[in-house]
Amino acid sequence: MGSVQDFHLVTAAENLLKNAKKLAAATAPGVDDNEPELRRCVASTAKKIAFMTAPRVDVVKEDWVTLAEVGAWNIFIEWEAFDFIPLNGYISIVDLARELDAQESLVARIANLLLATGKLLPGPPVASCSSTPPQSPYANITIRHSRISPLYMTSHPVSPLCTVAVGNAMRPFARWPDYFDIYGRCEPPEQRFTPFSFAWDCPDLEPWEVKAEYPDYASAFARSMQSKEMVGGDTVLVGEEAVYDMAWVGEEAKVFCNYKPWENWTPTLVDVGGGLGQLLQDVLRDVDGLRPEQCLLQDRREVIDKAKDNRDGVLAKVVMMEQDFHEEQPLKGGLVYILRRILLDYPDEASVNILQHLADALPDDNPKARVLIMEERLLEVPTTQNCLVDVVMLNLGGKLRNEAMFRELATAAGLRVVGFHVSHRTSNCVVECAKA
């Protein structure tokens, strides 16, 4: 947000006006996905002006509104209420309450909050319709989607991310006072007894075991990982735009088939903790020369079962196996082992252990073989989103790391960092490691 000393109201307002004019000239009414950088710039200046100029108590109270608003959209997502609002139409409170099997007055109060914050918009008043009980005070009140609320619909990839934001973030945050009272004012030292597992009433389980206890939440989590809208979800993998250009893997893959005969199969590329294969799908689309049958997807049993059920297109020929990355890597000698968005979930000791298994798996006789760590890094000057991810990782017993922290982990695991690649547009990085 910047310091008070940095802030000049008139300069900021002039910048806002200048960019607002540019945006108005560049955007067609109703089209929302164009000029995202300009939109971000206008929104962030406007937010900064509001923060610096509003009466102080208003700034504090605004957070209370956010707390309530999260409660409102979260329960509507859970009840799939946004799905019942037509994209090009409206629904009455009475009809929505009937669809949700909920009390009309309750639905009206929750909807009112979302109307007040602009997350929903009022629809036209309806005179009456035959299905509406005439005595209902909500008979002619209708609501419609705003430009934001379609993102909360079940079919939208952002929707499971919202569910995860509540489950991984807000729910543990709400329990922080009790958690730190019981476990002391320190970072969780291990994967058990984390704020996350405490908040989900399974304090002695590790986060992934907690999720397995709540299959609906685990499924929302797995779907959220497929979303391109989350950090690291839109990784460009080859060419100049890529944080780390994986084109070489395709070239090597052609040789690698011969190098390791098929009857004694060694994977060329292993996606360790690869979820439903979302990264592999992109890798196989972009990396010329790499074939699906050269790739291995590893994850927990319930995730691999789901990945096998869903496999189609390019994933159909990918080899899939249940594998715990805390244990020895059974498929040794691969060319590339990828850990995307894995280590940030873990404290240092567990991270070193995960890396060590991959260091041991790297072939002794191929200096090109790599372990690639792909995830969000801790920025030198962290943005609010960067800090958010870091404290959410605190809930899970993990953390964001910077280059020095990654180097320390790699060295302790018997690896050598041969490249630290960063994105200048985002906070993503790729740590390229070879056997030490």
Ligand X SMILES: C[S@@+](CC[C@H](N)C(=O)[O-])C[C@H]1O[C@@H](n2cnc3c(N)ncnc32)[C@H](O)[C@@H]1O
Three-state SS annotation for 43-81: HHHHHHHHHHHCCHHHHHHHHHHHHHHHHHHHHHHHCCH
User: Smaller CB distance to ligand X: residue 294 or 428?
Assistant: 428
Q: Which of 74, 266, 278, 294 binds ligand X (CB under 6 A)?
A: 278
Binder of ligand X out of 188, 250, 275, 333 (CB under 6 A): 275
Contact (CB, 8 A) for 249 and 335: yes
Instruction: Choose the stretch contacting ligand X; rule: CB under 6 A; options: 53-61, 311-319, 323-331, 410-418.
Output: 323-331
> Minimum CB separation from ligand X for residue 324, in Å?
4
Q: What is each CA distance from 333 to 255, 260, 303, in whole angstroms? A: 14, 9, 24
Contact 269, 338 (CB under 8 A): yes
Residue 12 or 372 with smaller CB distance to ligand X: 372
Q: Which residue, 94 or 320, has its beta carbon nearer to ligand X?
A: 320
Contacting range for ligand X; rule: CB under 6 A; set: 41-49, 163-171, 271-279, 388-396 = 271-279
Is the sign of the CA dihedral 260, 265, 266, 269 positive or negative? positive
Identity of the residue, 123 or 207, whose beta carbon is nearer to ligand X in the bound complex = 207
**Binding residues with ligand X: total (CB under 6 A):** 17
The reply to whether 357 sits near ligand X by the rule CB under 6 A is no
Is 160 a binding residue for ligand X by CB under 6 A? The answer is no
Q: Specify the stretch interacting with ligand X by CB under 6 A; choose among 22-30, 125-133, 268-276, 405-413.
A: 268-276
* Pick 300 or 435: Cβ nearer ligand X: 300
Cα 69 from Cα 109, distance rounded (Å):
12
Which residue's CB is nearer to ligand X, number 251 or number 302?
302
Determine the residue with CB nearest ligand X.
Answer: 273
Give the residue with the Cβ less far from ligand X, 95 or 271.
271
Structure tokens at 414: 């018997």
Say if residues 378 and 386 touch (Cβ distance below 8 Å). yes
Rounded Cα distance, 59 and 215, in Å: 38
Q: Which of 405, 399, 406 is nearest to 430 (CA)?
A: 406
Q: Which of 342, 358, 362, 378 binds ligand X (CB under 6 A)?
A: 342
Beta bridge partners of 143: 91, 122
- In this complex, which beta carbon is closest to ligand X, that of residue 123 or of residue 334? 334
Does 287 engage in binding with ligand X (CB under 6 A)? no
Give the C-alpha separation, 371 to 432, whole Å. 6
Check residue 325 for interaction with ligand X (CB under 6 A): yes
Our finding on whether 300 is near ligand X (CB under 6 A) is yes
Give the distance from CA 383 to its chain's centroid. Answer: 16
Q: Does 283 bind ligand X (CB under 6 A)?
A: no
Instruction: Report the nearest approach of ligand X to the CB of residue 411 (Å).
Output: 23
Of 108-116, 163-171, 299-307, 388-396, which segment contacts ligand X by CB under 6 A? 299-307
Which stretch, 8-16, 62-70, 282-290, 298-306, contacts ligand X (CB under 6 A)?
298-306
Find the binding residues for ligand X in span 216-235 (CB under 6 A): 225
Q: Which is nearer to ligand X, 333 or 398 (CB)?
A: 398
Give the number of other Cβ atoms within 10 Å of residue 187's Cβ.
13
417 strand-pairing partners: 433
Short-list 66, 62, 22, 63, CA closest to 42: 22
Helix axes 301-310, 215-224, angle to 10 degrees: 60
Euclidean distance between CA atoms 293 and 320, whole angstroms: 10
Of 120-128, 189-197, 273-281, 376-384: span binding ligand X (CB under 6 A): 273-281
Report the interface residues with ligand X, using CB under 6 A: 208, 225, 273-275, 278-279, 299-300, 303, 323-326, 340-342
